[in-house]
A and B are shown apart, each in its own frame.
Chain A
Amino acid sequence: MRGRRVLLALAGTNFLSAMGITIVVPLISNLDQIFGVSQAYGIWIITLFMLSYAMGMALIGRLSDAVGRRRVYIASMGVFSLGLLISAIGPSFGWVLVGRFLQGLGASGSLPIAQTIAYEHFGQRKGLAMGAISAAFGIGVVAAINLGGGIYQAFDWRAVFYVTFALSLLGWALSFAIPETLKQKKPLSLDLGGILTFGAAIAAFMMFFRGFSESSFTNAAVWPYAAGLAVLVGAFLIFERRTAQPAIELSLFKKPAFATVIGAALAGGIGMFVFQTFLPSFAQVSLGYTVAQASYSINLMAATMILAAGATGALSDRFGPEKALVFSLTTMTLGFALITTLSQPTWAYYVGSGVAGAGLGSLMTPINVIGMREGGQGREGVSSGIVSLSRTLGGIIGPTIAGFVLSQTDFSSLFALDNLIRAYGRIYRFGMWVGVIGFGFALILLIRSLRKTEVHAQ
């Protein structure tokens, strides 16, 4: 009974924090008109969220190992709600961005800590519990796209944030029902230098691609970001090597299986965020749907995503997470391939998104289980944080590159819309090839686990 209540709280809070990530997705193609700012400035509504989300993930694992899972979880949900309130009542777009930064920071705590708590709390049934949390997260992602499109169509953008804020308060209340699972606290040592250089490097990466989409590499608005990125990555690595308790424990990457699952998480993250972020606008340009229709059109993907997330937990417990990961990345890649190769646009859209949904829904549980197992005992929080961070980094890298591809569309061409559809085709083919790389990583992990099983049997 208590287990059910804990699972309900973890799943509920993840459902609500996932909503914060995608609630603004239906607004992306019209940011300039909705907020009265330029498209280039408007896109910071996504950029700042992802930036603080990634920075928060680098911080949260270490913090939860020191302060306790429950306290950090409750605080995260509180910060998330505060961010939504600021975005809703903010007098200017700048305040909306401040709110989005806090939302990202708050949301960053929910999934990795929930997965860690589930891993520590549910014993043999951890896969099932983690699958349920992933499913709830997936439902939140999709529900928000539906809700965001519908609320915006009926009211305005402020209403989108007000409704999410009201729901987040419920999530915050639920978070108090979560137990403390940390057995032994570690001394608190925040690697602020590492986190700040990490965040700045992500910002430089995004700014580089934004600038590159508008002018050439040699332009003064582009190359300093590339140089900055190189310097910041170097500074970050130095910080992490010198700090006793780094935000991202680089020594974990010396373990081949851990490094491989991080590769799979990164590839999966790119695929997941590229597919979800661009699907509604792809429906608009290729099928002629309105904003609201496009939001609702992703529901088939949502359904398969939720079913797969739930089923993969049990599959992972029974057959091992490696087989579940191979299934996930194969299906995701197939979905990308179908959406670009089927000749009839409506079939391509729905069959492709339905198949991809199954792959995306089944991704998180196996990568978290493998990551926490391979990270070693006592490092579950940090390992889970790095896995989630890698997935999120994929979520930054993928859409940034995809956005660059879209920005190259010539809107003065008589065939502008066709060119746009072709650009979406290139984006989905990019996702497919990233999926193939991820599949390679998953296959390595599977072969490794099968060999281990053989050795144990002998």
Chain B
Amino acid sequence: MTTIRRLLMMTILVAAVALPCLGQTADPIEAVCAISQDLTAYTATIRMTQHQDGSDSQIEFTFDFVPPDRMRILYTAPTTVDGQTMILNGDKFYTYIPALSRSVWQDVGEGGGNQGQEMGFLYDFVTQAAADALEQSVVEVGEACENYAVEGTDETIEVNVLTLAIDDERQVVWLNVLDAAPVAISIYNNDDLVLELRVLDYEINGTFDEAWFVIPEK
């Protein structure tokens, strides 16, 4: 009896990990893969907290993304970064740091860098790569939560919880049950919480302006 129960549980786990995106929309994994695959535009207000070297840094910004490679980030808080801008357009990346009145132009192909990848699964989601990310990770589906409090509002929503693990990194992702969009991500490194991302509000497949992604000339 015990062996049968174990086999049954393993089968469920393997199915959850190895068979994402096969068209069963009730499954949170399939749902998030589907919405990511069909994404044409994404706009959100995001709050991120970095825990590093014993200190915390929090930033807030608006995030616009049009797949596959156009991105705009406008910082709004704290005051030291208010007005900071990042634009990705193809392989060109631009940063403006108001604190130094300094603009930095980078070639993504040459210099590498992050260009938004610090957002973890959210970046995979907006770049239509959620399925790939899930396939490459060991995924665990947690219990759904009915009363997830959306940060910065009085609203509560129902969420599904996924845990993605690769090597020493683990991401806990909260997905809105209504549309399977990520609303929160916590990233751990060797069980240390290194980054928290909270989506304060978002719009999927809304309108966008080409002018948002124009990189200023040198």
A residues sitting closer than 8 Å to B (CB atoms) are 29-30, 33, 281, 284-288, 291, 410-418, 420, 422
Contact = CB atoms under 8 A, between A and B. Distances in A.
Contacts of A284: 99-100
A284 B84 CA distance: 14
Contacts of B113: 410-413
B97 interface: yes
Nearest to A418: B57
A30 B102 contact: yes
A116 B83 CA distance: 52
A413 B99 CA distance: 15
Given A417-B84, A418-B57, A422-B53, A412 B114 contact: yes
Contacts of A418: 50, 52, 57
B114 A417 contact: no
Contact of B97 (A286, A291, A410, A411): A411
Nearest to B82: A288
Interface string B98-126: 01111110100001011110110000000
Contacts of B97: 411, 416-417, 420
B101 A29 contact: yes
A412 B102 contact: no
B99 A412 contact: no
B73 interface: yes
B50 to A, nearest CB: 5
Given A29-B102, A33-B101, A281-B100, A411 B57 contact: no
27 contacts: A29-B100, A29-B101, A33-B103, A281-B100, A285-B80, A287-B80, A288-B79, A288-B80, A410-B113, A411-B106, A412-B86, A412-B106, A412-B111, A412-B113, A413-B114, A413-B118, A414-B86, A414-B114, A415-B50, A415-B57, A415-B118, A416-B84, A418-B50, A418-B57, A420-B97, A422-B52, A422-B53
B81 A417 contact: yes
The interface residues of chain A, by DSSP majority, are classed as helix
B95 interface: yes
Instruction: Tell me which of A284, A410, A411, A422 has the highest count of chain B C-beta atoms within 10 A of its own C-beta.
Output: A411
B59 interface: yes
Contacts of A29: 100-102
B130 interface: no
A415 B59 contact: yes
A412 B59 contact: no
Interface string B63-84: 0000000000100000111001
Nearest to B93: A412
A30 B111 contact: no
Contact of A411 (B52, B79, B99, B104): B104
B48 interface: yes
Given A288-B79, A422-B53, A410 B114 contact: yes
Interface residues of B, number: 30
A30 B114 contact: no
Contacts of B50: 415, 418
A414 B73 contact: yes
A29 B99 CA distance: 10
4 tightest A-B CB contacts, nearest first: A412-B113, A418-B57, A288-B80, A411-B104
A287 B78 CA distance: 11
A127 to B, nearest CB: 41
A411 B115 CA distance: 9
Contacts of B118: 413-415
Instruction: Tell me which of A411, A412, A414 has the highest count of chain B C-beta atoms within 10 A of its own C-beta.
Output: A414
Contacts of B80: 285-288, 417
Contact of A288 (B99, B101, B102, B104): B99
Contacts of A281: 100
Contact of A285 (B59, B73, B95, B100): B100
B101 A414 contact: no
A418 B53 CA distance: 11
Contacts of B115: 412
Contact of A30 (B93, B100, B116): B100
A155 to B, nearest CB: 17
Given A29-B100, A288-B79, A414 B111 contact: no
A412 B93 CA distance: 8
A286 B59 CA distance: 14
A291 B101 CA distance: 9
Nearest to B88: A412
Nearest to A422: B53
Nearest to B50: A415
Contacts of A411: 95, 97, 104, 106, 113
A68 B119 CA distance: 67
Instruction: Tell me which of B50, B57, B100 has the highest count of chain A C-beta atoms within 10 A of its own C-beta.
Output: B100
Contacts of A412: 86, 93, 95, 106, 111, 113-115
B48 A414 contact: yes
Given A284-B100, A415-B50, 4 more contacts: A291-B101, A414-B61, A414-B114, A418-B52
A83 B61 CA distance: 47
Contacts of A287: 80
Contacts of B106: 411-412
